[in-house]
Structure 1
Amino acid sequence: MPTQQEVFGGGLAVVTGAGAGIGAGLARHLAGNLGMTVIAADVDESAVRGVADEEHGRGGRVVARVVDVRDPDAMMRLARQVRDEFGPVRLLINNAGVEQFGYLWDVPPESWRRVVDVNISGVFHGIRAFLAAMIADGVRSHVLTMASVGAVTAMPLQAPYIMSKHAVLGMVECLHQEIARIGADISVAAVLPGPVASNIFRAAGGVESGDIAAAEEHRQAMLAILEQAISADEAAATIMEQAARGEFYIVTQPETVHAAMAARADQLAHRRAPAPHRSRFAQSD
């Protein structure tokens, strides 16, 4: 099997949502361990510049770019600037994502739009901005898109997020087929992480009316699950190891994520309604 260094070493990568969490871990791993030039894109300027400065101090090359993945024109400008300044992109990681808690009927419309615009449209804008040039280059390249174990499960009080990750997984599965159809030398993969240490639950949207307490109780439950989380750096190493092998469904915690995938397949095959949710990552499991 090829190593990460053999597949990715020395190339050019673009990572969205690189200011924190898995995105920051990926930027550090790609630059520090694989010697890649990493364009770290994020809407939070101070966060992404902090990641770039930190890695620069270690000798890695991370270039911060402030961009909102919700803006298709901004993503197109980023793609042109990256190509003009650094050359062909060999690895695109669509990672930017946000969370939302609350009963679906309590979720404010603007919070719903935020999840859709970042988690779903942000992926589309990244693919649209970068992929045509990657195809035209005709050189082996890779597109990794962050879904979630939530893409194969259902969970109360997180419907907008869960919906968005189901949509992302479907989008990436279609993209994989489209790339195969045209015969482009591009590896497409969907990443389904389990709990990874990040600020995503603290930064998640809540509700302003209705059952506010239920939304906040669920936030606390998810924060408790993070006590079982792996680090962003560990997740990045695991993700890139599987990417180097050419895996399509990339997971960070194989035992539990594979079990969730199997349970989903079994539920659909037997046409069972969703059962009451019990996290596979809870401490009592």
Structure 2
Amino acid sequence: MFGDQLVPTPCKVVARRDENSDTSTLTLAAPSQWFPGFRPGQFMMVYARGVGEIPLSISGDPTHADHTVVHTVRAVGAVSRALHEASIGDIVGVRGPFGTGWDLDSAKDDLIVVAGGVGLAAVRSAVLEAQACGRFRRVVLSVGARRPSDLLYRPDLDTWSRGDLVDLELSVDVAEPDWQGHVGFVTQSLNRLVLEPGRTTVLLCGPEPMMRMSARTMIGQGVERENIRVSLERNMQCGTGVCGHCQLGELLLCRDGPVVDYRAAEPLLAVKEL
């Protein structure tokens, strides 16, 4: 645990990269502490001084433990906007890591990773770990975005598109000039995959309709629900399972999630977020 569960550790912004017009990636460092490491899929509570605190997936490389932690934040509210606008040298508060991870150790031989929009931030660390461990027979990354200019992690996407460790599929809803890729839903790319269902684990993160459609597509191709894992995000406030704001059905997502298998998630995704 990084500092106290309930008291944020002050961290300095030591690097930032603008991913697109409303999304940035921040690298944070705590001067007096060594970051304890994390499991891909976990999150931290990140505090903008004087504004508030939100949960953010850890999007850094889990194979390179040091004194920093990496988060990607999209400006959609007061806290995320303040964090998105943070400059190098600014101080933010960090608690965690919290929650469950993607658990790649128990995954099968073929890994299918599906991300929509900023959901790529929650699976990036899993893809990096899958590359580093070298135990997977196949890694497929299917990424969807509204427009090509909305795609995150362009350096990573360029590297993955040229390498032989990850099969990269990009889809956008609306094409822009010079876009030569697929236009349509990520599920269309998934329908084209040739799978061995019994040897496949699927990781899903993105808008809930996208996760539902992607999970149904994979189930239709024979993948069992227990081999489909989704990252659920609701109103997390404490990170420790105490306040109850993130309750979804029988789960407290900051404690029992955010990553759960689709046997548990399927009925819960029918509950609309307020």
Smaller-chain TM-score bracket:
0.3 to 0.5
**Counting helix residues as a fraction of each chain, which structure ranks higher?**
1
More strand by proportion, 1 or 2? 2
TM-score (structure 2 length as normaliser): 0.36
